[in-house]
Structure 1
Amino acid sequence: MARLRAGDRRLARWAIAWGPPWVRRTAPAVEEAAEHTKLWWAAAGVMAAVGGWRGRMAAAAGVTSMAVAQVLSNAVAKKLYGRRRPPQEWVPAEELQDRPDSSSFPSGHTAAAFAFAGAIAPVWPAAGAACGFSALTVAAERVHSGAHYPSDVAAGGVIGLAAAALVRAALRLLWRRVL
């Protein structure tokens, strides 16, 4: 376990320090879009507005899965496992201003992103692919900004995909009961 933890720390330190100037310029916009799940709410609104029945179903599944993932990650897992964020010395001073105070493990932003993308992909694969790419971008930004260790975003991704699967299974079960 100590070797995994050390590797996680090394990878985080490398990811925080890595990047050409365009990455540093782009990362704040990605973080802002993901903050308070704004990106996913906007995507749900667009899908519901222009996607017809499939768009409305995808949006509903995405928002429901995102809510479940937020509860599991932020209200349950963060309370059970209090982990400090990567050391401030690793993070450029200009990126320390919006640093969260909550537990680092797991990444709630990543959980929401993966839940949303994972839930809409079976309903609308093209939209799922676009949101999946965005979810990966959010996950990478969370490590690059120094807000999380790689294992935090990996756990957030697993929680998000599990939430999407849970919501999908619950909807199938409900649908069988109705018919």
Structure 2
Amino acid sequence: MRAPAALRGADRRLTRRIAAWDSPAARRLLPAAEEAAGRTKLWWAAALVMAAGGGRRGRAAATGGVPAMAVAEVLSNGVAKQLVGRPRPPADWIPHDDVADRPDSSSFPSGHTAAAVAFSAAVAASWPRAGAVCGAAAALVAAGRVHSGAHYPSDVAAGAAVGGAAAALVRAGPRLLRRYVPRRR
């Protein structure tokens, strides 16, 4: 399934513009955020810090964030990437060396972004300030995925949608189970 021509054109223009962003802050922050978020290390560390030092609110935030992140990873990497075999942006669009480190898997959707948004949204439901901090880090991760040439902006947007849906699903899960799963007596 091919994207409409207008979306492909917008993806091309935005990818080239974001990848060419060469400010000192971008060259320092975006790769660092991407590295920290790799294999969800950043979100596991945040969950540990919240659970250990945030009291009941921190434990609730971590308890919501980790399963939301896991569901997002399964949906994005285990399901969507297998169904949509979209190639990564062309290497000649990326004017720096980060393009050499990108994965070979499908570009659509961004699993890093899905996990980041899922974790942040789930944390925000229990602890809004911590969720805002995680959300800022998630935004850096998302921008870094386009800047490095690993994803198109539409991949990142789809990853964010998957992450938001995963957080909502995990939050609604207990209520849905109580409603639809018969109780043993």
Q: Same fold (TM over 0.5)?
A: yes
Q: Distance in 2 between matches of 1:130 and 1:175?
A: 32
Which of these residues, 55, 64, 74, is aligned with residue 71 of structure 1?
A: 74
Write out aligned runs for 1:12-161 (5 A). Answer: 12-161=15-164
SS at match of 2:175: helix
Contact between 2:30 and 2:140, CA under 8 Å: does it hold in 1?
Answer: no
SS in 2 for 1:97: helix
TM norm structure 1: 0.94
Quick one: which amino acid aligns to residue 161 of structure 1?
G
Give 1:171 shift: 2.5
Aligned length: 178
Q: Kindly provide the amino acid, as one letter, of the partner of residue 154 in structure 1.
A: A
CA distance in 2 between partners of 1:59 and 1:103 (Å): 29
Q: Answer with 92-101 or 63-72: which moved more.
A: 92-101
CA separation in 2, counterparts of 1:58 and 1:143? 28
Equivalents in 2 of 1:71, 1:96: separation in Å?
Answer: 25
Out of 169, 172, 176, the residue aligned to residue 172 of structure 2 is 169
Seq. identity, %: 66
Could you tell me how far 1:174 is from its partner in structure 2? 4.5
For each residue in 1:4-58, what CA deviation from the matched residue of structure 2 results, as whole angstroms up to 9, or x when unmatched?
1111111111111123133112222111101000000000000000111111111
Question: Alpha-carbon deviations, 1:46-101, whole Å to 9, x = none?
Answer: 00001111111110110000000000000100011010111111223421332110
Structure 2 unpaired stretches of 5+: none
SS of equivalent residue, structure 2 residue 86: coil
Q: Alpha carbon RMSD of aligned pairs, Å?
A: 1.5
Q: 2:34 aligns to what SS in structure 1?
A: helix
Paired residues of 2:29 and 2:140 also in contact (CA < 8 A)? no
Partner of 2:6: 3
Q: Which amino acid aligns with 1:58?
A: A
